[in-house]
Chain A
Amino acid sequence: MLSMLLRRLLLGLVTVVLVSIIIFTGVEILPGDACTAFLEREAQGKLLENCRRDLDLNRPALERYVDWASGAVVGDLGVSVNGQESIAELVGNRMNNSLLLAFCALLVGVPLAIFLGVITALWRDKPIDLFFSTVAIFAMTIPEFVSSTVLILVFSVWLGWLPGIVLTSANASAVEFFPEIILPVIVVAMVMTAHILRMVRTSVIDVLASDYVRMATLKGVPYWQVVFRHVLPNALLPAINVVALTIAWLLGGVVVIEVVFNYPGLGRMMIDSISDRDLPVVQAIALILATVYVSVNLTADLLTMIANPRLRTLHMRK
């Protein structure tokens, strides 16, 4: 078990290192460098030289990669071209904001999705299932900017209950984001809930049709005991991985929602830095998102293994 854990950790580490190389090389082979990108037409003479000196771009690529990578390990991601601020600090704030959004969305979405997924599966093809399954499909297919706009129209413009836009600055504390964060959380949670709900529903339906559930019924186990002891422990295992993927998506993939609500999250920062041609920041965020992705998936796999006796023995034997 322990050697398995170490191997998986090592593999995750290798992945992150490879990703960092790809990111770095990608930025290197772009025509020009961070300074020419940033300075644009003024990229000449003294200005360019100064910029390159400041950003230390005159050394060979390999040396700079080693510097960058070893800096990243201890949390030093360099400085941004634009404004010369510490990237770690900039990104750190945004990361916290993204985590806050993700945390709130998960807190609402995951229990709701599992609850509704199980309900729709147990009452398959009954009105309650048809209703929630249809709603879920809508929630999945309506583009986020549409649902955001509609929610803003209803709750901010018409009813005036909630603020429609986030005005709090990026480095504010978590509490200060309330109640501005509520609408973005609702939009994100809606999409997420719909995905998890449909997955849980399918999984519960599969398990309900299994031989062991029929056996439990024919053993005389009362219905709700069958559901709680025999169905759910097996049906919810795949949910772990889906939730993991959702977390990764919440941190980096909700750019549209962040833009609509002016929410200072990580995804929007990435887009902003791309349009500002702030390559060091882009590089840093890409690396962070890759690390998040790898670690979230690793955690999910470990959790699945702990929860699933079949996987557990498989790895113990090895």
Chain B
Amino acid sequence: MGNKSLIEIRDLSIGFSNLAKQLLPILRNIDLTIEAGETVGLVGESGSGKSTLALAMMGYLGNPLKVLTGSTSFRNQSTFDLSARELEQIRGGELALIPQNAGQALTPTQRIGRQISESLKLHSKVSEVDRPARVLELLTQVRLPDPTTLVDRYPHELSGGQQQRVAVAMALAGEPDALLLDEPTTGLDVTTQAHVLELLRDLAKETGTAMVYVSHDLGAIARVCDRVVVMYAGEIVLDGSVRQVLLKPVHPYARSLLASIPKLREASLPAALDGRPPAAGDVGKGCAFVERCKMAEDRCALERPLLQFTKAGERVRCHLFEKVEKLAASGPGSAVDRSLISHATEVLALDNIAISYTTRGLWDQILGRQPNDTPTVDDISIVIHKGETIGLVGESGSGKSTILKAIAGLIPTRNGRIIYNGNELLKASVDQRSNDQLRRIQLIFQNPDDSLNPRQTVAEILAQPLRLYFGLSNQELHDRSVEILERVRLGGHYLDRLPSQLSGGEKQRVAVARAFIAEPELVLCDEVTSALDVSVQAAVLELLNRLQREFGTTYIFVSHDLAVVRALADRVALLYQGRLCEIGPAADVYSLPSHPYTEVLLGAVLEPDPDSVPVLSADDIVELSPMPVGCAFQRRCPRRVGDICETKTPPWQQVDDEHLIRCHIPHIELRELQMGRAN
């Protein structure tokens, strides 16, 4: 088989030496062959070594890394033995990379055209005269609008999706035999992600280019790849066709990973995978997954399993794969208990809130003038009841976090009132609110790396709210801190740790503990799981759900991920450009009829299922500012009815008791339209 293979990796181990001169492997004994034209997904959580492996295929190692054993070759040339000159030929030529976060991977001081042209100059025979034309051709091929003006733009002048397409065009310039894609859609909005993935899929088909697609997102992998390689702690644990791996995984880790992904069609919490992967060099002599494996037997801890073939032709690294094979597909996760909601008690009411980010000039401030532009967030009225979880969903820039900040008093509202407990008017700014009001509303941020002070121990972090709100000190303070840490499943021995000594999931638990130690009535969750790995995300969702049951807390849960919101929320509100489009009980919002924007979002969600096909009904253009008149979604709406959308703000239509849609199309008609498309 060797001769035809494009990329061949044999027994490759890569690692670094720590200060104690110990060799810590990041990748361990990787054997992988990629044939011409194949599309392979490399899946794993952060730290699994998937990106290191992909970059090693290009002969690139990050700074402290070195090859410990084995080799990797491209077209039978051993990559690590090539000279710098030969590597330059291959990189970007036969083997091209599409990076994660193209916004940072494009040189900020160079125009788009020049950067693509550079690739052409290095890796193609296109003559200097023909290069500009070829650049335009490439930009057209990646479906970028208006290539002639685009070539003269700088990277920061493009949207995230456009930048990613430019990166794709740059990679295609050298007419590569294989594309390495390193999390190419992470950080993009769902609709943009779906569009970029469709583009990549089509390119793979048209050009016959092989693809190695590195991602933590099984949904994206399911859409693009034929074959999936699952990695855990630097090893390949499972390698099979996309159908086999996603529908009937024979490795316990892959099973748990799949079970931890929230599903759009299931209103239940995904099953969490406890524990965390071993750190580099921390793997015992047994299986790396043994400590988190629910099926582990004695020998799993003693003997490292080999990568062996199943009858179906998959490769799996597990002693017990035959047992796993016989297990039934994992059922749905645990349902969320909705009995706590007390519809009579209103916790928070947003009454016609408008927020503007426009900074007033010196003159306007002196004269006390309000700017008269269109506010970023407008016309938001929501009533939230005790014990419920309301999900605020929208793409980036939809104003969902802005609304949270306004509730927390971190940014002023321009209009409207925030009413607490039915009668208390909350002042717009934190420093005008009473201590008790502050205590009752707590905020959990997206990224615990940024929201925890790196120089404070967990004890100090937790002590602040206790001193501030309850005036506690000494023993009592200590006891309360330990108690809350146990509630978030961390325990008192975490008190002396610094944030840097915690894993991502643990940090977020500390952030959750800090919020709950104040005994809040309302907790504002701002994308609290989007910086976490899926398995950790499931655990945090489970934690939030349990705490809600124990304390009767009310949540406002902001997320861009419709599946996560589906798992936790009782009611869902959809925001587009700072305007509400649809609001209602979760079950209603996720079924027909939907606001056209909800329809677009739901259509673009990628499920870890090779048979689910995303529906791309709207362009992934980026709107910079909201429309001053008419419907907020008018420019992208696939169901526009006419001028009325531009001239009149659509009315709220009551579909059901609590289910409201803001659209000019009557909801019955909308349902029929959407049913028709579904057939």
Chain A interface (Cβ within 8 Å of chain B)? 210-223, 229-230, 233-234, 307-310, 313
Contact = CB atoms under 8 A, between A and B. Distances in A.
Contacts of B157: 313
B84 interface: yes
A14 to B, nearest CB: 11
A229 B99 CA distance: 19
Contact of B154 (A211, A222, A310): A310
Contacts of B174: 220
A310 B91 CA distance: 29
A313 B153 CA distance: 10
B474 interface: no
* Residue of B108, B109, B174 with most partner-chain A CB within 10 A: B109
A219 to B, nearest CB: 4
Task: Give the interface residue-count category, chain B.
Answer: 20 to 34
12 contacts: A211-B99, A214-B99, A215-B97, A215-B105, A218-B55, A220-B92, A220-B122, A221-B118, A223-B84, A229-B110, A233-B107, A313-B157
Given A230-B110, A313-B154, A217 B105 contact: no
B119 interface: yes
B110 A211 contact: no
A118 to B, nearest CB: 16
Given A220-B119, A230-B110, 18 more contacts: A211-B105, A212-B106, A212-B107, A214-B99, A217-B91, A218-B58, A218-B92, A218-B99, A219-B91, A219-B96, A219-B122, A220-B89, A220-B122, A220-B174, A223-B84, A229-B118, A234-B108, A308-B109
Contacts of B510: none
Q: Which 4 A-B pairs have the closest CB atoms?
A: A220-B92, A219-B92, A220-B91, A215-B105
A233 to B, nearest CB: 4
A211 B107 CA distance: 9
Contact of A220 (B90, B104, B110, B154): B90
Contacts of A229: 107, 110, 118
Interface in B90-137: 90-93, 96-97, 99, 101, 104-110, 118-119, 122-123
B109 A218 contact: no
A201 to B, nearest CB: 17
Contacts of B107: 212-213, 215-216, 229-230, 233-234
A307 B108 CA distance: 11
Nearest to B180: A218
Nearest to B624: A317
A230 B89 CA distance: 19
B106 A215 contact: yes
B60 interface: yes
Interface string B55-70: 1001010000000000
Contacts of A309: 108-109, 154, 156
Nearest to A232: B109
A218 B106 contact: no
B124 to A, nearest CB: 11
A204 B215 CA distance: 31
Nearest to B91: A220
Given A211-B99, A313-B154, A220 B108 contact: no
Contacts of A210: 104
B170 interface: yes
A176 B90 CA distance: 61
Contacts of A220: 87-93, 119, 122-123, 174
Nearest to B60: A218
